[in-house]
Amino acid sequence: MDFDGSADTEFVKFWNSVLEPKFTKYRHILQGGLSRHSAAVLPNLPIKKGMSVLDVGCGWGDMTLQVAEVVGPDGRVVGIDCVEAFLQEARKDAAAKGLSNVQFSRGDAEVALPENEFDYVVARFGTMFFTNPVAALRRMRKALKPRGQITHIVWRRREDNPAWQKAKDITLRHLPPPGADADTCGPGPFSMGNQETSDLMMKSAGYEDFTFTRVDEKIMVGTTPEECIAFALAIGPRGEVFREAGSELAEAKRPEIESEMRTFFESQERDGHGIWAPTSSWVISARNPS
């Protein structure tokens, strides 16, 4: 599955060049927030000792390692991600935990996955960036053995996710939306948020018995209002608006944008760890037919 980065798609190149440093900088915010959505469901998934599991878009691999503990030494887990820097962290964490039943491979899930190999496929916020989602979901299905199962977690619609969307609304009050040729990581975090559309995608990708479970969780969006603002302007759709506006215009508008964002973040729940805002996800589970 390892391959030479020169053949990467423009989206994978974008993940490795533009997004990786920002994700790495804000790992302490991102990982905790994303893991709240899997913590709500992981213990109830029918993943059993001895199973082989694939984690698609595994990032830093914290969920991959949790699954590796569930399947035990007789099972096996493979994490695949298109960003080598994330996988290096994942491998370090696996070694620190002494887990030898886990392997991390760099790969583009839209290009290649092993076939007919896994009992279960999981993905936490790793499928919404697919440029060709039905083909990629079908490829994930083909990675399963017959009757194997998948669970992937995706954000619900933008209006269900104020933690991400409010800061974008503020940014768009001051800056134009990104143009059609903007550099991007793909269709973006809310591309599977509409249940009807995602239902159709799962059907078209050949799955059966699919269920949608809604998870509502507050996640930490920064330790201080200043960090919330810096994080918002760096990552996600609001970060994209700010970046694509060009530094001259974006910097000219920065004081008003930051002031409105401060008002929003200061109105959110705060505790000893940081500031918390509401998010909502779909946990989509399904089966590969026999």
Ligand X SMILES: C[S@@+](CC[C@H](N)C(=O)[O-])C[C@H]1O[C@@H](n2cnc3c(N)ncnc32)[C@H](O)[C@@H]1O
Residue 156 Cβ vs ligand X, minimum distance, rounded to whole Å: 15
Count of beta carbons in the 10 Å neighbourhood of residue 181: 7
207 binds ligand X (CB under 6 A): no
Residue 135 Cβ vs ligand X, minimum distance, rounded to whole Å: 11
Amino acid at 186: G
Closer residue to ligand X in complex, CB, 249/278: 278
Reference 11, options 3, 23, 22, 19; nearest CA is 19
265 binds ligand X (CB under 6 A): no
Residue 174 Cβ vs ligand X, minimum distance, rounded to whole Å: 26
Q: Taking the CA of residue 161 as centre, how many other CA atoms within 13 Å lie in the half-sphere pointing to its CB?
A: 27
31 binds ligand X (CB under 6 A): yes
Give the phi and the psi of residue 50 in degrees, each rounded to 5: 90, -10
In angstroms, rounded to a whole number, what is the distance separating the alpha carbons of residues 20 and 28? 14
Q: Which of the residues 123 through 182 are near ligand X (CB under 6 A)?
A: 124-126, 129
Residue from 51, 77, 83, 202 touching ligand X (CB under 6 A): that is 83
Reference 3, options 101, 112, 90, 92; nearest CA is 112
Q: How many residues bind ligand X (CB under 6 A)?
A: 20
DSSP code for 26: T
Candidate segments 122-130, 172-180, 206-214, 248-256, binder of ligand X by CB under 6 A:
122-130
Residue 109 Cβ vs ligand X, minimum distance, rounded to whole Å: 4
Reference 65, options 74, 78, 52; nearest CA is 78
Closer residue to ligand X in complex, CB, 19/230: 19
Closer residue to ligand X in complex, CB, 124/238: 124
Per-residue binder mask for ligand X (CB under 6 A), 33-72, x = binder: -x----------------------xxxx--x---------
In angstroms, rounded to a whole number, what is the distance separating the alpha carbons of residues 241 and 234? 10
Give the phi and the psi of residue 201 in degrees, each rounded to 5: -60, -45
Summarize as ranges the residues that interact with ligand X (CB under 6 A). Answer: 15, 31, 34, 57-60, 63, 80-83, 86, 108-110, 124-126, 129
